[in-house]
Structure 1
Amino acid sequence: MNNLDLFVVVIAAMVVIILMAQICGKLITYIGQPRVVGEMVSGVLLGPTLFGSIWPDLSSQLFSDEVKSVLFVLCNLGLSIYMFLIGMEIDYGLFKRSTLRQAGALSVTGTAVPFLLGGFAAWLYYDNFTGEGIEITTFVLYLGTAFAITAFPMLARILQEQNLVNTKIGVLSLLSASVQDVISWILLSFVTAMAISKSYMGGIVTFAGALLFVLVIGFLVRPVLVKICTATEKDANLSQGHLALVLALLLLSALATDYIGLYSVFGGFVLGLAIPRKPVFIEELATKLKDITLVMFLPLFFAFSGLNTNLLVFNNLAIAIPCLVILALSVSGKYGICTLTVKAAGYSWREASAIGGLLNSRGLMELLIANIGLLYGVISQDLFSILVLMAIVTTLGAMPIYNLSMGVASAPTKVKKKLQPVYNRDMGEKQLQ
């Protein structure tokens, strides 16, 4: 395929993905789910589960390996920008000592207990679902990590859609989810290192690199952002030159975290946290970056993993019982322990259950882990399908659990009023809440 033909097919694929995401995102809101869940489902429907099954020839042309390679670059770019916006929107006024302590405790229990249960499931089904030549230690680390992960980007999107990013529940959930995912990706680096070279050095290098990256952002990059912010506040406008510099820093941050073994999403998020909290600067950035990211780039990310997912394998009843056991262990390990931890921190049972339900969401991060496991031969195709189902079920359950926990009268709008932040803006809307 020459460059011109590739361009035409990529554009056609993007049009299909964007339209499908909009349709599914709109339809799913009628059953009380956030749009983001519909976008995730749209990707699965575009893959071999439906579209590829009904029109295999058209699917192979529209989503060829060459096209997927281009989509991979675009979707990761969009996700990095989106998480930069999420980090930028978090209100530091809610970062009280008590919240940080609670997030720390929640991160420890919300990672350790699911990891142990995942390790138990790996021991239980080692002979059934492991890849060829993979040792049980590697398999235990992998499945423990798959259980411990939280859908950080998807959780952020759900909270943003429901105007909960800067509420007490939203901040605690995001802080805890970010820490849990950093730990999980470090564990995953150990798994891939062991699967490839039988070495633990991959995880050690990733951990050291993450600490160094945070220090660089805090001491070297933030002063540059402060200067840009000062000029923007003075002129009441973010110049194209300054926007270009921010975007360059964003891309370098994504590149750095990806290079050290963490997913590029964390580079964007950490850079967003370093943005000075000045209203004009934040509003200018959000206005210039928000819409095109949400409407065009981000759906590519939600679709990409779905294109590599085939749920038709569940026609095989031989994996039904292990699937139910793994789902039960994963939900009890994440939702159960997070709920108990938050309750022990002094929250009500309703708030504890709501946070537990949000953190139980695995989303596309689980799909990424599943694809990595399949890529390196750590897991079988059957376990890959089970992990995909885990991602869908836990994500679909996030908002129903939240709404049931908080009560019908405590739907998003009223929760926002009850837990009113110092300042809250839905990704750049020109208002103070």
Structure 2
Amino acid sequence: MNNLELFVAVTIAVIVIMMAAQICGKLITFIGQPRVVGEMISGVLLGPTLFGNYFPELSASLFNEEVMPILFVLCNLGLSIYMFLVGAEIDYKLFKKSTIKQAGALSLTGTLFPFGLGVLAAIMYHDTLAMEGISLSTFGIYMGTALAITAFPMLARILHEKKLINSKIGALSLLAASVQDVISWILLSFVTAMAISQSYSGGFVTLGGAFLFVLVVFGIVKPILKRVAKTTEKNGELSQAHFAFILILLLAAALATDVIGLYSVFGGFVLGLAIPRTAGLIETLTVKLKDITIVMFLPIFFAYSGLSTNLLVFQNTTIILPGLIILLFSIVGKYGVCAVTMKASGYSWRESSAIGGLINSRGLMELLIANIGLLYGVITQDLFSILVLMAIVTTLGAMPIYNLSMKASKYKKGQAELGTESVHTMKVPGKVHEDELEAVP
């Protein structure tokens, strides 16, 4: 296949992926789910579960061996940009004493308990679901991280779409999810380093490199970005030269973290955290980057993951029980424990259940962890499919659990009251801000 033929093949594949994402995203809204859930499911449907099963020749032609590496590059570039925007969306004004205390307790229990259940699952299924040569300790940390993760980016999109971002529950869920994801990324960096080097020393070397990377970003890069932000505010626009500079930094950060043994998206996330929280800079970057990332690059990632996912493996009865137990552990460890934690913090059972349902959403982050596990040879194809299924089920359950928990009329009327204690100053790139925020319906 020459370059022109490759361009045509990749373009057709991307068109098919985007169309599937748009159709599934629209259809899923008719049952009250956010579009992003449908986009995630579209990737699985394009894989061997449906499209590849009924149209194997067409699927093999569309997503052939020459196209797949290009899709891998595109989706990883897109993910780095998306995680950069996610990091930039975290508003430090959320970190108030009262919110931090509640989010801290939620993050602690919402990480430790599912992590412990993940380790238990690893002990139970190490021989069948881990790749040969992967130690129990490495597999245990991986499974603990897989169950402890929360889909911060997807949770943010769900809350945005459903106009819950300005409620107390929404702000608390986002803050707790962001803390849990940072902890999970640290654990994941350790386990990938162990998988590569087959030793604890490799893990600690990678953690040391990650610490050094964070120091460089916040000690050297952030002051430079502050000058860029100041110039942007003064001129009223982000110049093309400064935009190019930020993109170069983003790509360099992704490359640097990949070199030290972390997944490239971690670099984008850390750089996003370092971006100065000025409305002009954040909003301009969002306008320039967010739509094309969400509309094109994320569906490519969903499809790339889906093409490696075959839910028909559950026809093998030996996989059903491990899959059900891991799914049960994931729900009990997140939804159950977080709900009890919030109840102990003084919330009603309805509010506690609503928060637990939102925190239980894993979506994009679980897909990332599954892909990393497969990429670095930690998990089998069967476990990859189990983790993708877990991502879909827990994300599908987020809004139904929230709606059922808050369905009583007095809670519907009182949602705005819940928002009175929330952080209305939170900046949401690409959305309205402060007094423009719409009240929760």
TM-score (norm 1): 0.90
- Written as runs of structure 1 = structure 2, the 5 A alignment for 1:163-178 is 163-165=163-165, 167-178=167-178
Aligned 8 A contact 2:353 2:405 in 1: yes
Alignment-derived partner of residue 373 in structure 2: 373
Aligned 8 A contact 1:371 1:384 in 2: yes
Query: Take 1:256 and 1:416, find their aligned partners in 2: how far apart are those partners?
Result: 45
Alignment-derived partner of residue 424 in structure 2: 422
Alignment-derived partner of residue 393 in structure 2: 393
Query: Take 2:336 and 2:386, find their aligned partners in 1: how far apart are those partners?
Result: 20
Give 1:37 deviation, angstroms. Answer: 0.4
> In the superposition, relative to structure 1, how do residues 59 and 84 fare at CA in structure 2: closer, same or farther (>3 Å)?
same
Aligned 8 A contact 1:146 1:369 in 2: yes
Query: Take 1:411 and 1:197, find their aligned partners in 2: how far apart are those partners?
Result: 53
Query: Take 1:417 and 1:112, find their aligned partners in 2: how far apart are those partners?
Result: 28
Provide Cα deviations, 1:248-281, integer angstroms capped at 9, x if missing partner.
2222222233333333333333333333333333
User: What amino acid is aligned across from residue 400 of structure 2 in structure 1?
Assistant: P
Alignment-derived partner of residue 69 in structure 1: 69
How many residue pairs get aligned? The number is 433
Aligned 8 A contact 1:403 1:411 in 2: no
Alignment-derived partner of residue 24 in structure 1: 24
SS of the aligned residue for 2:66 comes to: helix
Q: Is the deviation greater in 67-76 or in 261-270?
A: 261-270
Q: Work out whether 1:142 is the aligned partner of 2:142.
A: yes
Alignment-derived partner of residue 258 in structure 1: 258
Query: Take 2:425 and 2:418, find their aligned partners in 1: how far apart are those partners?
Result: 12
Alignment-derived partner of residue 125 in structure 1: 125
Provide Cα deviations, 1:331-354, integer angstroms capped at 9, x if missing partner.
101211222223333433333322
Alignment-derived partner of residue 223 in structure 2: 223
User: What amino acid is aligned across from residue 421 of structure 1 in structure 2?
Assistant: V
Give 1:235 deviation, angstroms. Answer: 1.9
Query: Take 2:241 and 2:376, find their aligned partners in 1: how far apart are those partners?
Result: 42
Alignment-derived partner of residue 11 in structure 1: 11
Give 1:166 deviation, angstroms. Answer: 5.4
Provide Cα deviations, 1:82-109, integer angstroms capped at 9, x if missing partner.
2333333343332202323333333322
Alignment-derived partner of residue 180 in structure 1: 180
Q: Work out whether 1:353 is the aligned partner of 2:353.
A: yes
Give 1:417 deviation, angstroms. Answer: 7.8
Provide Cα deviations, 1:110-144, integer angstroms capped at 9, x if missing partner.
22211211121222233443333444333323322
User: What amino acid is aligned across from residue 226 of structure 1 in structure 2?
Assistant: K
Q: Work out whether 1:234 is the aligned partner of 2:205.
A: no
Query: Take 1:408 and 1:265, find their aligned partners in 2: how far apart are those partners?
Result: 41
Q: Is the deviation greater in 416-425 or in 280-289?
A: 416-425
User: What amino acid is aligned across from residue 427 of structure 1 in structure 2?
Assistant: P
- Written as runs of structure 1 = structure 2, the 5 A alignment for 1:170-209 is 170-209=170-209
Aligned 8 A contact 1:88 1:282 in 2: yes
**Runs of 5+ unmatched residues, structure 1:** none
**Runs of 5+ unmatched residues, structure 2:** none
Alignment-derived partner of residue 54 in structure 1: 54
Query: Take 2:57 and 2:157, find their aligned partners in 1: how far apart are those partners?
Result: 34
Give 1:56 deviation, angstroms. Answer: 1.2
Query: Take 1:99 and 1:400, find their aligned partners in 2: how far apart are those partners?
Result: 25
SS of the aligned residue for 1:65 comes to: coil
Q: Is the deviation greater in 236-245 or in 16-25?
A: 236-245
User: What amino acid is aligned across from residue 418 of structure 1 in structure 2?
Assistant: G
Give 1:400 deviation, angstroms. Answer: 1.3
> In the superposition, relative to structure 1, how do residues 133 and 89 fare at CA in structure 2: closer, same or farther (>3 Å)?
closer
Aligned 8 A contact 2:192 2:261 in 1: no
SS of the aligned residue for 2:309 comes to: coil
Query: Take 1:279 and 1:194, find their aligned partners in 2: how far apart are those partners?
Result: 40
Aligned 8 A contact 1:360 1:394 in 2: yes
> In the superposition, relative to structure 1, how do residues 367 and 104 fare at CA in structure 2: closer, same or farther (>3 Å)?
same
Aligned 8 A contact 1:75 1:300 in 2: yes
Give 1:12 deviation, angstroms. Answer: 0.7
Give 1:11 deviation, angstroms. Answer: 0.7
User: What amino acid is aligned across from residue 348 of structure 1 in structure 2?
Assistant: S
Give 1:194 deviation, angstroms. Answer: 4.0
Q: Is the deviation greater in 338-347 or in 160-169?
A: 160-169
Query: Take 1:178 and 1:259, find their aligned partners in 2: how far apart are those partners?
Result: 24
- Written as runs of structure 1 = structure 2, the 5 A alignment for 1:289-328 is 289-328=289-328
Query: Take 2:130 and 2:294, find their aligned partners in 1: how far apart are those partners?
Result: 37
Q: Is the deviation greater in 256-265 or in 8-17?
A: 256-265
Q: CA RMSD in A?
A: 2.7
Q: Work out whether 1:80 is the aligned partner of 2:80.
A: yes
Aligned 8 A contact 1:79 1:265 in 2: yes
Q: Is the deviation greater in 83-92 or in 4-13?
A: 83-92
Q: Percent identity?
A: 68
> In the superposition, relative to structure 1, how do residues 417 and 357 fare at CA in structure 2: closer, same or farther (>3 Å)?
closer
> In the superposition, relative to structure 1, how do residues 376 and 246 fare at CA in structure 2: closer, same or farther (>3 Å)?
closer
Aligned 8 A contact 2:91 2:426 in 1: yes
Aligned 8 A contact 2:148 2:184 in 1: yes
> In the superposition, relative to structure 1, how do residues 213 and 158 fare at CA in structure 2: closer, same or farther (>3 Å)?
farther
Give 1:396 deviation, angstroms. Answer: 0.9
TM-score (norm 2): 0.89
Aligned 8 A contact 1:305 1:364 in 2: no
Aligned 8 A contact 2:94 2:426 in 1: no
Q: Is the deviation greater in 163-172 or in 390-399?
A: 163-172
SS of the aligned residue for 1:250 comes to: helix
Provide Cα deviations, 1:387-429, integer angstroms capped at 9, x if missing partner.
2221111111112112222336667995598355333565324
Give 1:196 deviation, angstroms. Answer: 4.3
Query: Take 2:65 and 2:175, find their aligned partners in 1: how far apart are those partners?
Result: 36
Query: Take 2:195 and 2:349, find their aligned partners in 1: how far apart are those partners?
Result: 42
Query: Take 1:209 and 1:345, find their aligned partners in 2: how far apart are those partners?
Result: 37
User: What amino acid is aligned across from residue 390 of structure 2 in structure 1?
Assistant: M
Alignment-derived partner of residue 275 in structure 2: 275
Query: Take 2:414 and 2:226, find their aligned partners in 1: how far apart are those partners?
Result: 34
Q: Is the deviation greater in 389-398 or in 172-181?
A: 172-181
